[in-house]
Chains A and B, each alone.
Chain A
């Protein structure tokens, strides 16, 4: 299979998922607790009479068959018209796009931080494999992987923002306050990467090119860093890539704990306010970015790792 075929195949694979998501999002508007026409009328300050409701229904196309409604709706979505928020009366698209950079930055920082936490831990573990150092790192990483991020977030908030008063309690979306939420998010991932990286480094250390590098006169540490890490980290980067898609969907709990103004917190607030157009928009936006990011990463991966066989 050529690279091109692979990429086309991957894009085709994505289509059923996007279709399912669009159906879910579309159904959402039909499950709304109140009549959409009525709510729209109320929001515009009009009198709620049966005739007026019918008129709004016709205007919104709610009297047409479901399939027609679905395609009308899909047409709007493609034009990035996600409707208007019940709460703020602003276009949903604008509201989401305004908050997305905060979530994206948080995801990026968490992803980078997790790799940078994992590299030294894994290297030390691999170097002193099966000693007490390795075992204690193993216990730490198991603890990190089993620690719920919402509890870790609360603990860090208490320790650093309240007890030690180093960070503010409300992070907002300012870049200088990103450390605590990013660290909270990264720890679980770092634990997983540490274990993966440790196994990979140990495997790589037996490779002939490592022996060759040593024979050439490089010191153990230099070989490990220059040749070992470079090869061992590839699977880790792949995993990070696939996790990044999830991170970008906005971490509800962490954004909530640190009052980080991203799309996750926004979605939760909208659920509480029953602001369905926003929830619908959020689901679409996030699902599409999730799918696209995974797609881009998979495609990049075929270029990064030549070892992958495209049969």
Chain B
């Protein structure tokens, strides 16, 4: 089995992505949002939480490009700071998912047997568990808050990553070069990290990109229904929820945060699909697509091979 070196993989990916206009657009969108979030303090024209009742519900102007909200806060600044909050939370959730999912998959794949069985059983349960129910339970115990929602997402969504890693481990474990490395005295840990992670890198990158999109949709959704980030924080979901009261008179208040959520998810989705095709043109079917928020990422229990 030929393994890809890092630079080779990068070069190939970039050259393929360059030709895929939709993926390129997605990549640029995502990059712009990341930049806006990273430099929010420098870009945002106003303080996102500064209340100024005299300036409430202003239309767009040079001073307030997207107008002001019901408390006179600058909508553009709130969107920009919202980007920061959203992306930071999404990447934290992703990091949590990877920290749990990758070792779980490795342990399951490498040890096999009873441990493998147990981990995969847990993964099956977690995959079919409705996130809304768990979120409601956790919020009921510990009160509303973004951290609680993030914990819920991490505890449910590590499973697909564990599956991918486990699959990669199983595929490679018996290969000659791994056995040779083992016979030559390389430690198991080194083998895992070097060969298996490198070989599982492509599906993990694709899965991660699409997952960030789902995470963003979920954290915005939970904030919107009042279980996540609490007002007055500058958060897209909170802004959308605030705008409901003024939907008849100031529909623009709802438009901007909604568009921000939609565009960033669209960008991530396009990028993810592009990466999927660029990195692994033959394994398209194995990758989960993003689903509408609150939709269970159910892995059908009725695949023929799960019946044995």
Question: Residues of A with Cβ closer than 8 Å to B?
Answer: 1, 6, 10, 13, 16-17, 20-21, 24-25, 27-28, 31, 33, 142-143, 145-151, 154-155, 157-158, 162, 188-189, 192, 238-239, 242-243, 245-246, 249-253, 256-257, 267-268, 271-272, 276, 279-280, 282-283, 286-287, 290, 294, 298, 301, 308-311
Contact = CB atoms under 8 A, between A and B. Distances in A.
B251 interface: yes
Given A17-B125, A271-B139, A249 B300 contact: no
13 contacts: A146-B266, A148-B220, A149-B292, A150-B220, A151-B261, A242-B298, A243-B295, A252-B225, A268-B225, A268-B226, A271-B227, A279-B140, A298-B302
Given A31-B141, A151-B258, A287-B130, 12 more contacts: A25-B137, A145-B290, A151-B261, A154-B258, A246-B298, A249-B133, A251-B294, A257-B244, A271-B144, A271-B226, A279-B137, A283-B140
A238 B300 contact: yes
A296 B95 CA distance: 37
Contacts of B129: 17
A252 B294 contact: yes
A142 B269 contact: yes
B88 interface: no
B292 A31 contact: no
A280 B128 CA distance: 20
Contacts of A150: 220-221, 224-225, 237, 240, 293
B226 A253 contact: no
Given A148-B262, A150-B221, A311 B132 contact: no
Contacts of A13: 301
B244 A287 contact: no
A252 B140 CA distance: 15
B142 interface: yes
A155 B308 CA distance: 47
A146 B224 CA distance: 17
A148 B298 contact: no
A148 B261 contact: yes
Contacts of B254: 151, 154-155, 158
Interface residues of B, number: 54
A155 B247 CA distance: 9
Contact of B293 (A17, A149, A256, A276): A149
Contacts of A1: 307
A290 B141 contact: no
A162 B247 contact: yes
B128 A294 contact: yes
Contact of B300 (A6, A242, A268): A242
A25 B300 CA distance: 26
Contacts of B144: 271
B296 A242 contact: yes
B100 interface: no
Contacts of B132: 249-250, 252
Contacts of A298: 301-302
B16 to A, nearest CB: 19
Contact of B302 (A20, A283, A287, A301): A301
Interface of B: 121, 125, 128-130, 132-134, 136-137, 139-144, 213, 217, 220-221, 224-227, 237, 240, 243-244, 247-248, 251, 254, 258, 261-262, 265-266, 269-270, 289-296, 298, 300-302, 304, 307-308
B307 A27 contact: no
Which of B137, B217, B262, B292 has the most chain A CB atoms inside 10 A of its CB?
B292
B221 A148 contact: yes
Contacts of A257: 244
Contact of B247 (A33, A154, A309): A154
Nearest to A235: B300
B240 A154 contact: yes
Contacts of A21: 133
A119 B156 CA distance: 32
Given A146-B265, A150-B293, A154-B240, A31 B251 contact: no
Contacts of B248: 158, 162
A304 to B, nearest CB: 11
Contacts of B240: 150-151, 154
B136 A271 contact: yes
Contacts of A256: 225
Given A6-B307, A154-B258, A189-B295, A145 B136 contact: no
B177 to A, nearest CB: 33
Nearest to B140: A279
Which of B132, B244, B265 has the most chain A CB atoms inside 10 A of its CB?
B132
